[in-house]
Amino acid sequence: MTSYRIGADIGGTFTDLVLMDASGTTFEIVKILTTPEEPEKAVEQGVQQLLASAGVAAADVSHVVHGTTLLTNALIERKGARTALVTTKGYRDAIEIGREHRYDMYDLFMERPEPLAPRRHRFELDERVLADGSVEKPIDSEDVTRLIDILREERIEALAVCLLHSYRNPVHEKRVGELVRRHAPDIACSLSSEVVPEIREYERSSTTLVNVYVQALAARYLASLEARLRKLGLTGSLFVMQSNGGLCDVSTATRFPVRLVESGPAAGALAAAHYGVKMSAPSLLSFDMGGTTAKASIIDDGEPLIALEFEVDRRYRFKKGSGLPVKVPVVEMIEIGAGGGSIARIDGLSRLTVGPDSAGADPGPACYGRGGVAPTVTDADLVLGYLDPSFFLGGKLPLDRDAAERSIRQAVAEPLGIEVAEAAWGIHRVVNETMASAARIHAVERGKNAAQLPLFAFGGAGPVHAYRVAQILRAPSVVFPLAAGVTSAVGFLVAPLSFDFVRTVPGELEAMDWERVSEAIADMEREGREVLGRTIAKEDIRFRRFAEMRYRLQGHDIRVPVPEGDLAPGSEVEMRRRFDDVYGSLYGRVQPELTIDVVNWRVIAEGPRPEIELPSASSAGQADGSSAVKGRRAAYMPEASAFVDTVVYDRYALVDGQSFEGPAIVEERESTVVIGSGARARIDGPQLIVDLPKD
């Protein structure tokens, strides 16, 4: 019996779903408007449509994989639980003081996000564990009992426990957790020694607060989603994407929701990596532009780059240090408020600006005809002739060109004294420049040159803008996957089950206590078998090991692969060589005379990577591709500074090996590719590859 998998990606504007079998024979996609008040409702509706259109029985679906931005939104909007923090005496305000780093040296009125636990809900316990794990002052259970009474009086719903040096010895935290669960089982309780057992009190406290703050919300949401899927007759497993690109089961996701905060964006990078390996291009610049945001990430040697922490709720979108630190692994990317729904306006200096605010799914762009009046990027793309108003979402959502022109005329063209078409091109160009600038900075910060990387473009709006973004970056080519509008949902189906574990065993590399390190690694591998063993056979679990290392006195660590096999005296030679390789690729030089310190050791427990065959190009039309031309329409081409009669191709009728020249437009149901003059396009399996003209 054939088994099927479903990937579901909830975005700010659209919810994308994909149904596939392992062979790629069945490949069904659905793109519907997101239901912001009940995100799981759109998933339920989409799954219903998928099963009906594919003729697949619900019982034949082996599992559903899902990612969401729900928790990110809850943190930004502060819609989580009423949360308290308990810490060691004298450290009540550490969470508010944070680090001495100022994200803006010259802003005397700079703001940081308020801690998730206000000062009146931060409590101290008179206990102390030292840095070596020894207990200087034992915890008093009566103090904890009195604290529980206060928590009840304050109507606290969630408690984060972060005691000093608990990563080294969690005995006191475990005692607090035991008493809270015994005497106040209705209060959700997260221990930092379980959520993020590593050094650095501020980041550990912040991460634990984030975890417990959204825990009840995550539990309710996942339970509701599971119930809706069961109601449809699905009996397979529900898996959730983590921020690092791995999957976990619902019980793990409910216990550690902090690992899901960036789950949605991670899937797109996973898909880009998968396609890149299949087409023998393991290094790419992934470019995902949806209705609300655009995201760029580096794919290096077939894997997305991983960061060891990130921030949420930034006061200033691009300024590191202005948000809440979250110390969990995450697919490294830059995200900006530039999507199809991004709103264009004239600012106080008579400048055209686009985003970061978005019209979203409700009311949406003016051309949606759902009550929106503000001009958006999608309205501009429609006016420029890039979108077919009768074929948007395959004709399911007809667009109103007159409404788009009216919104741009009133808000942009008339204030600037220019024509509507000129204003529309200005909107299109501004958002392209913004995205290209962010992508270039992201690449440079990772020691990469964006001009040397093919651009892998997807998302509902990505293919419309990718060619011009690639021109600005001077990229050699652009790759558009089949079904580019739902590629992130495909990413869910190529991700393995995975979970990260970390232990702090610090020391100088040349004088490392290898016995202690080996014990920590063995302990993490045991936990990995326990967590993943609930879902897959233990013999299918493999482990990858990393060390977080730095030159002495540096403030930031880099992740370095640890050799397989036993670690013992002498292992430092290979470790140093690997550190030099990673450091050199990032910063262009190494300093062999400096001492290297190791801070943390990390183990990634991972299941088998799903093997899927991506569907190839032609599913309609003639074998020679002669029926691929749908027609022609006027589209604005900056090379001519005018509207140009442009050929329009049906993506589903193009065949493997077929090639053509720009200017051209290639239409799918969920996205549209715009190709400029002088470019050469060709079909290569499931990809459309566009080579940019050389200067």
Does residue 415 share a domain with residue 381? yes
pLDDT tens digits for range 677-687: 999 999 998 89
Interval 135-151 mean pLDDT: 97
283, part of any domain: no
Please state, in angstroms and as integers, the Cα–Cα distance from residue 615 to each residue in 212, 408, 612, 659, 687, following that order: 41, 39, 9, 19, 10
Determine the straight-line distance between the first and last CA of the chain, rounded to whole angstroms: 54
Does residue 653 share a domain with residue 578? no
Phi, psi of 625 (to 5 degrees): 80, 10
Separation of alpha carbons 589 and 482, rounded Å: 40
Average pLDDT, the chain: 91
Does residue 98 share a domain with residue 179? yes
Nearest partner of 92 among 116, 129, 133, 125, judged by Cα: 125
Q: How many domains does the chain have?
A: 4
Question: What pLDDT is recorded for position 617?
Answer: 60
CB atoms within 10 A of CB 474: 14
DSSP result, 545-596: EEEEEEETT-S--EEEEPPSS---TTHHHHHHHHHHHHHHHHHS---TTS-E
pLDDT above 70 for 559:
yes
647, part of any domain: yes
- Who wins on pLDDT, 104 or 278? 278
Nearest partner of 366 among 334, 390, 397, 401, judged by Cα: 401
29, part of any domain: no
Winning range, highest mean pLDDT, from 338-342, 450-454, 691-695 = 450-454
Question: What pLDDT is recorded for position 629?
Answer: 93
Separation of alpha carbons 643 and 663, rounded Å: 11
DSSP result, 528-552: HHHHHTTTS-GGG-EEEEEEEEEET
Question: What pLDDT is recorded for position 626?
Answer: 65
- Residue 335 near residue 304 (C-beta atoms within 8 A): no
Question: What pLDDT is recorded for position 107?
Answer: 78
- Residue 195 near residue 167 (C-beta atoms within 8 A): no
Which residue, of 379, 395, 429, is where some domain finishes? 429
- Who wins on pLDDT, 10 or 298? 298
Does residue 504 share a domain with residue 394? no
Question: What pLDDT is recorded for position 421?
Answer: 96
pLDDT tens digits for range 357-379: 888 777 889 999 989 899 999 99
pLDDT tens digits for range 47-68: 999 999 889 999 999 999 998 8
Question: What pLDDT is recorded for position 24?
Answer: 66
Separation of alpha carbons 429 and 423, rounded Å: 10
The C-alpha angle 670, 312, 334, rounded to 5 degrees, equals 50
pLDDT above 60 for 622:
no
pLDDT tens digits for range 443-465: 988 888 999 999 999 998 999 99
Interval 187-206 mean pLDDT: 95
Does residue 89 share a domain with residue 186? yes
Is the omega angle on the peptide bond into residue 363 within 30 degrees of 0, that is, cis? yes
308, part of any domain: no
Does residue 586 share a domain with residue 533? yes
Does residue 680 share a domain with residue 572? no
Name residues whose C-beta falls within 8 Å of residue 589's C-beta, 6 or more positions apart in sequence.
none
- Residue 136 near residue 168 (C-beta atoms within 8 A): no
Residue 300 pLDDT class (50, 70, 90 cuts): very high
- Least confident range from 101-105, 173-177, 261-265, 535-539: namely 101-105
Winning range, highest mean pLDDT, from 95-104, 531-540, 612-621 = 531-540
**Which amino acid belongs to residue 361?**
A
Separation of alpha carbons 277 and 271, rounded Å: 10
Does residue 209 share a domain with residue 102? yes
In three-state secondary structure terms, 502 is strand
The percentage of residues in the chain with a pLDDT greater than 90, rounded to a whole number, is 68
- The DSSP letter of residue 82 is -
677, part of any domain: yes
Phi, psi of 27 (to 5 degrees): -145, 95
- For residue 179, the domain's CATH number is 3.40.1360
Dihedral sign from CA coordinates of 309, 310, 313, 319:
positive
Question: What pLDDT is recorded for position 322?
Answer: 77
675, part of any domain: yes
- Residue 328 near residue 200 (C-beta atoms within 8 A): no
Nearest partner of 177 among 213, 139, 210, judged by Cα: 139
pLDDT tens digits for range 302-335: 999 998 888 887 766 556 777 889 999 999 988 7
pLDDT tens digits for range 625-649: 667 899 999 999 999 999 999 999 9
Which residue, of 191, 213, 235, is where some domain finishes? 213
Separation of alpha carbons 210 and 258, rounded Å: 6
Residue 525 pLDDT class (50, 70, 90 cuts): very high
Classify strands 310-312 and 306-307 as parallel, antiparallel or unpaired.
Answer: unpaired
Does residue 178 share a domain with residue 123? yes
Q: What pTM value is reported for the model? A: 0.87
582, part of any domain: yes
Q: How many residues belong to the chain?
A: 695
* Exposed/middle/buried for residue 656 (C-beta within 10 Å: 0-12, 13-18, 19+): middle
Does residue 504 share a domain with residue 405? no
In three-state secondary structure terms, 173 is helix
| Structural domain harbouring 647 | 629-691
Which residue, of 414, 429, 444, is where some domain finishes? 429
642, part of any domain: yes
Does residue 417 share a domain with residue 364? yes
* Exposed/middle/buried for residue 410 (C-beta within 10 Å: 0-12, 13-18, 19+): middle
Does residue 594 share a domain with residue 686? no
